[in-house]
Structure 1
Amino acid sequence: MTPKRALIIRHVPHEGIAGYRAPIEDAGYEVDRIDVTDPEFATLDLCTPDLLIMMGGPMGVYEQDRYPWIACQLRRLARRLEADRPTLGVCFGAQMMAAALGGEVYAGPVKEVGFHPVHIHHDVSANPLHHLADTPILHWHGDTFTLPDNVELLASSHLYRHQAFRRGRNILGLQFHAEMGLDPRFDAWVDQWPEAVVEAGGDEQALRRAHADFGPGAVDAGRAMIRDWLTGFVGPTAYTIAAQPAAT
């Protein structure tokens, strides 16, 4: 039996799959990754992997002049989403999904950095985010997006309404970082972007304490959420869209 393949798109080296790796591997996926700086990325068919995971990054979807690969990735991502292939986006990855589905991504009014819960929309049937209820999880962003057509809003926070969405059972976008809490790369985030912490009204020491206090619980809840989502796929989903050159 051919193993299922999960591919991680990494937009910067210090934003990886972290705590989500365990439930994905437990579900029988062989996990591989590619960086957007890899020369092979420009010609990669994003419809091929059984599961695509797009992680975060400090860039904005609207910065396509500065990062030409964004437009190229969006075109290929749109084909994958149109084919309803299982896709997970985290933070910048979720913003890319929103844009590929027709939403607008833009700079928000405030930075959202720190650990706090999200409000789960329980009126959504079989909402996999119910595992996160009342659990402080990591937020680290300043951009937001309009909600695309034909998607369900799954969660909100006190600062940003659009925190998580899905289209059907196969496509899930998460603005927050429930994968983070046990990964040492968190220290690299704080070291690299201390101004974001201050701009959000916090300080480095308090954020590191929150990470120690809330991180393990956040990762446990995030893993349960991903396990739930992985078992709900509508499938098998046929790959019906032919591969296209990356530049089209």
Structure 2
Amino acid sequence: MRINIIQHTPNERPGSILDWAHDRNHDVYIYHPYQFGYLPKVDETDMLVIMGGPMSVNDDVYWIEFERDLIKELAQRDVPIFGACFGAQQLSKAFGGKITDSPVKEVGWAPVYLKSDVIDGIPAELTAMHWHGETFEIPDNAELLFSSELLANQGFVIGHRIVGLQFHFELQTDNVREIVTNDFNYIDGSVFKQTKEDILAREVPKENKDVMYTILDFISEGK
């Protein structure tokens, strides 16, 4: 399987998604449209992964709109798609949801709670990294998957092929360090009141990688 990953900034990498792809013997191609302007071709995509980024899905940037066109076309072809943070917001908007400023800015470690049993093997509560100031609506064709204490809409699933998460399960220790090292100013104003030292001191929960594998297995197998 050819997995095309769209990365929107140098410091938000695929993390354990790459481990999953390699463990399942898939081929990975990573695109950087913010720098080079290129997106995957529909006919060359067996699975799409859309990463986070500092931009807004509401920005008037040509490749952001083209990315949503790609999502719609792949969904029509029943191609599995996973989106994290900005990627989840792109999925929401592609299927009719609105993206707005979040009533609270969530940056740092905080729990999320499972709201659906459609995917087997996910614990009822997990601790995830949050790094966002906007939030999405759950599209009409989607089911709520996760909520946090402060925001109801934290994740959704569409059928058996599409999952969008506002937060990050994919991050590993080096990924967290890279994000905090380069984007630490974004922490200011977070309701979590965590410093960059607080965030870096927290060990990445081992179960997050397991859950990432579970989600990717679910959408790739379509059941």
- The reply to whether TM is greater than 0.5 is yes
Q: Map of 1:147-186 to 2, 5 A cutoff?
A: 147-182=138-173, 184-186=174-176
Does 2:194 match 1:202? yes
Question: Are the equivalent residues in 2 in contact too, given 1:117–1:133 (CA < 8 A)?
Answer: no
Give the drift of 1:13.
1.5
Residue of structure 2 equivalent to 1:46: 42
Tell me the amino acid that sits aligned with residue 19 of structure 1.
S
Q: Map of 1:103-182 to 2, 5 A cutoff?
A: 103-122=97-116, 124-125=117-118, 127-128=119-120, 130-182=121-173
Question: Are the equivalent residues in 1 in contact too, given 2:112–2:146 (CA < 8 A)?
Answer: yes
Tell me the amino acid that sits aligned with residue 17 of structure 2.
Y
Q: Which runs of 5+ in 2 are unaligned?
A: none
Question: Are the equivalent residues in 1 in contact too, given 2:81–2:219 (CA < 8 A)?
Answer: no
**What is the alpha-carbon root mean square deviation over aligned residues?**
2.1
Q: Secondary structure in 1 aligned to 2:102?
A: strand
Give the drift of 1:22.
1.6
Question: Are the equivalent residues in 1 in contact too, given 2:5–2:48 (CA < 8 A)?
Answer: yes
Identify the match of residue 178 of structure 2 among 188, 193, 207: 188
Find the aligned partners of 2:97 and 2:6 in 1 and give their Cα distance. 21
| Identical counterparts, % of pairs | 30
Which runs of at least 4 in structure 1 moved beyond 6 Å after TM superposition? none
Find the aligned partners of 1:58 and 1:47 in 2 and give their Cα distance. 28
Q: Which runs of 5+ in 1 are unaligned?
A: 235-248
Residue of structure 2 equivalent to 1:22: 19
Give the drift of 1:218.
4.6
Identify the match of residue 223 of structure 1 among 208, 212, 217: 212
Residue of structure 2 equivalent to 1:62: 58
Q: TM-score, normalised by structure 1?
A: 0.81
Q: Secondary structure in 2 aligned to 1:180?
A: coil
Bigger Rg over Cα:
1
Residue of structure 1 equivalent to 2:87: 93
